[in-house]
Amino acid sequence: MLNMVWLVPILPLIGAFLNGGYSFSGKKLVRPLVHTIACGAILGSFLVTLLTFIHFLGLPSEERSVTVTLFSWLNLTNVKADVAFLIDPLSLVMMMIITGVGSVIHIYSIGYMSHEKSYARYFAYLNLFCFAMLCLVMGSNLLILFVGWEGVGLCSYLLIGFWFHEKKNAVAGMKAFLVNRVGDFAFICGTMLLLWSLVSVGQGTVTYTELKGAVHLLTNQTVMGFPVLTVVTLLFFIGATGKSAQIPLYVWLPDAMAGPTPVSALIHAATMVTAGVYMIARLNFMYSLAPDTMNVVATVGYATAIFAASIGFTQNDIKKVLAYSTVSQLGFMFGAVGVGAYTAGVFHLMTHAFFKACLFLGSGSVIHAMSGEQDMRKMGGLKDHLPITYKTFLLATVAIAGIFPFAGFFSKDEILWHTFNKEPVLWCVGVLAALGTAIYMLRLVAMTFFGACRADEKTKHHIHESPATMTIPLIILAFLSVCGGLLGIPEALGHLVGWEHSNLLESWLEPVFAGPHHEVEAGHTMEYLLMIFSLGVALGGCYLGYTLYTRRQDIPERFVRRFPRLHRLVENKYYVDEIYQKFIVDNLLRLNQWLALFDQKVIDGIVNLTGSITKVGAFISGWFDRVFVDGLVNLSANLTLQGGRGLRLAQTGRIQDYLYVVVAISLLILFWRFS
């Protein structure tokens, strides 16, 4: 099975090329052909991944790490990097998520994009994205990861600006790309620094399996007075904050909602934005050696979680709420990896992929039904019109809110439990963020599905349940949101029903995150208590959210009236965009203007001066040419002419004249000879 694993990324690439070429050729659009190619490619990838997964299940856990080398890429004296795929439990989990959720979203797109003119272009981008993302997670070294890292950034840009004829969308795409570049720059600096330090200790490598054995050599190395590992991991983390939308580089993600909704689901919720979490999980052996970085990661993660959740309260665009929710949930994941709970982070990544994809696709279905309306203030009462969407959306909401036994409960609870053991302060923040999640999600559901419909008559008349290609993916994802958590039942709960090693995901990922086993054996009592507490928080949040936005709408209104300043601050997203605009973007633009002015005045001045000097020189040399050179030429011509004119007199044409000359010269010779 493993010799076929290269098909996993290649199939979507082929699909992207076929559809891209088709779109480019300008031939008549045959929709079934386009989506058969695209969905076939990603389903093929999923199939190969699934077979590989089954193959791996049959292996003992220590053999579950295989490097499949395709060809040698870089072969320098100190460094060697192959185009190779590392297939191990972690990359398999990611591959399953990408190809599985990816397939579902491809199928959903058939229905959602059915009226789109650039159908082939859309599917080409989507397939290209899957290729890049699979490269990112499957690559066996940091360079391949970086190729994928940039590739997904590119696809994200292309898909956010998919409807680029509207300036707003093009600008959003550009913003995403530029903000990501900041992170990417840090990332590549980190890679360089890591490589440089490793070469200086004689162990130059970028391959994970070799890095794992080599990084401990760097523990005492410093760069400019800072420990190398801390700097490297921090630089990597800055890269992750760009890609995974954490403070301070999260600003692009809410704007990224300008893209088509399935894209938001796939790229900006389920897969691409989790790349940072994956990267840290993949390099866990390095992060574990840099405790300072870990603290930063956890703090930034939880800060983002609570910060984004608070903004989620005030947004009225259905997709914007989900976007901030995504930022917040990604914060949870970083919180998890930051406290060393890599399994919990990956677990939440997985469950989040399920329920957030479901929520986004559900919102897409709602938007589809509402003829493109995204403002929740103009929705309401949709639960009777869109029964399937409503039910799946509700299940996913319950899952994200963290209610037992849905997926979110297990993953979020595991994160909070590990955080509690490490940093009780962060735990408090996490619980608050979880409470916020429950409230704003219920607010979303209440405003969209409950109450009376606030749409205008024309839209209202048009409301319809989405076609099967859209509802079936919703049902699949809702099912996964409900059951996905069962993969990681904490051992404390498994213990109750007499099931040892109930945390399937943990034992599956154990070879990757092999480290000191959780020494926290303080008994399960505390864990039960925390579980009940967070369940209570989730239920309370749900109840609060439901009540506040259905029966007691007067309370939030009164709150807004009471604290108008606070409300305005949060509604305007703490003015972060404006601050960036004022302090960074404007200054950069001003710098650009200065540079343009410099270019215009100084550089152009030099160029023009050179031009003028040449012109004067040319004039002088032209004058010299005209007067002296031409004079000489004319002089010689004139001399010849004058000489000819003189000599012509001698040539009379009369033979007798010539004879006189002959005789005269003969006589002269005679006299000269004989005198």
Partner 1 sequence: MATLQSYLMVTAILFGLGLFVVTTRRNAVGVLMGVELILNAASINFVAFAHFRGNDVAGNMFSIFIIVLAAAEAAVALALVISLFRQFGTIDVEEATTLKG
Task: Please identify, using beta-carbon distances, which residue of 659 and 668 lies nearer to partner 1.
Answer: 659
Give the binding range for partner 1 (CB under 8 A) out of 297-305, 326-334, 546-554, 653-661.
653-661
Task: Please identify, using beta-carbon distances, which residue of 202 and 653 lies nearer to partner 1.
Answer: 653
SS3 of 226, please?
strand
Strand partners, 82: 72
**What are the C-alpha distances in Å from 177 to residues 164, 249, 280, 579?**
14, 11, 21, 19
We find the least distance from the C-beta atom of residue 667 to partner 1, in angstroms, to be 11
Give the binding range for partner 1 (CB under 8 A) out of 57-65, 66-74, 306-314, 656-664.
656-664
Task: Please identify, using beta-carbon distances, which residue of 611 and 646 lies nearer to partner 1.
Answer: 646
Give the β-pairing of 222-223 and 226-227.
Answer: antiparallel
Q: Is 458 in the site for partner 1 (CB under 8 A)?
A: no
Q: Which residues inside 515-554 make contact with partner 1, applying CB under 8 A? A: none
Q: Is 654 in the site for partner 1 (CB under 8 A)?
A: yes
User: How long a stretch of residues is the chain?
Assistant: 675
Residue at 204: amino acid letter = G
SS3 of 589, please?
helix
Q: What is the DSSP letter of 628?
A: I
We find the least distance from the C-beta atom of residue 671 to partner 1, in angstroms, to be 16
Q: At 402, phi and psi to the nearest 5?
A: 90, 45
Binder of partner 1 out of 652, 668, 669, 670 (CB under 8 A): 652
Strand spans (E) along 24-130: 66-75, 80-87
Give the binding range for partner 1 (CB under 8 A) out of 89-97, 295-303, 501-509, 650-658.
650-658
Binder of partner 1 out of 629, 630, 660, 670 (CB under 8 A): 660
Task: Please identify, using beta-carbon distances, which residue of 561 and 654 lies nearer to partner 1.
Answer: 654
- Site size toward partner 1 (CB under 8 A) is 13
Q: Is 663 in the site for partner 1 (CB under 8 A)?
A: yes
**How many whole angstroms separate alpha carbon 287 and alpha carbon 301?**
15
Helical H segments across 370-500, by residue range: 387-401, 407-422, 424-449, 457-462, 468-483, 491-496
Task: Please identify, using beta-carbon distances, which residue of 165 and 654 lies nearer to partner 1.
Answer: 654
Q: Is 226 in the site for partner 1 (CB under 8 A)?
A: no
Q: Is 659 in the site for partner 1 (CB under 8 A)?
A: yes
The greatest distance separating any two alpha carbons of the chain, rounded to the nearest whole angstrom, comes to: 156
Name the residue among 364, 358, 363, 369 with its Cα closest to residue 392. Answer: 358
We find the least distance from the C-beta atom of residue 617 to partner 1, in angstroms, to be 47
Residue with tokens 């009164």: 558
230, 292 contact by CB (below 8 A)? yes
Task: Please identify, using beta-carbon distances, which residue of 656 and 675 lies nearer to partner 1.
Answer: 656
Neighbours of 114 (CB within 10 A): 14
Q: Is 30 in the site for partner 1 (CB under 8 A)?
A: no
Give the binding range for partner 1 (CB under 8 A) out of 31-39, 118-126, 260-268, 654-662.
654-662
We find the least distance from the C-beta atom of residue 650 to partner 1, in angstroms, to be 7
Residue at 298: amino acid letter = A
We find the least distance from the C-beta atom of residue 665 to partner 1, in angstroms, to be 14
Give the binding range for partner 1 (CB under 8 A) out of 59-67, 282-290, 570-578, 658-666.
658-666
We find the least distance from the C-beta atom of residue 652 to partner 1, in angstroms, to be 6
Query: Which residues, other chains included, contact 545 with Cβ-Cβ below 8 Å and sequence gap of 6+?
Result: 438, 439, 440, 441, 442, 443, 445, 446
We find the least distance from the C-beta atom of residue 670 to partner 1, in angstroms, to be 12
We find the least distance from the C-beta atom of residue 631 to partner 1, in angstroms, to be 28
Task: Please identify, using beta-carbon distances, which residue of 543 and 660 lies nearer to partner 1.
Answer: 660
We find the least distance from the C-beta atom of residue 660 to partner 1, in angstroms, to be 6
We find the least distance from the C-beta atom of residue 651 to partner 1, in angstroms, to be 3
SS3 of 432, please?
helix
**How many whole angstroms separate alpha carbon 405 and alpha carbon 348?**
14
Q: Is 561 in the site for partner 1 (CB under 8 A)?
A: no
**How many whole angstroms separate alpha carbon 230 and alpha carbon 238?**
12
**How many whole angstroms separate alpha carbon 335 and alpha carbon 338?**
5
We find the least distance from the C-beta atom of residue 648 to partner 1, in angstroms, to be 4
- b/e sequence 136-169, b meaning 16+ C-beta within 10 Å: bbbbbbbbbbbbbbbbbbebbbbbbbbbbeeeeb
Q: What is the DSSP letter of 59?
A: S
Q: Which residues inside 610-649 make contact with partner 1, applying CB under 8 A? A: 647-649
* Residues found near partner 1 in the complex (CB under 8 A): 647-656, 659-660, 663
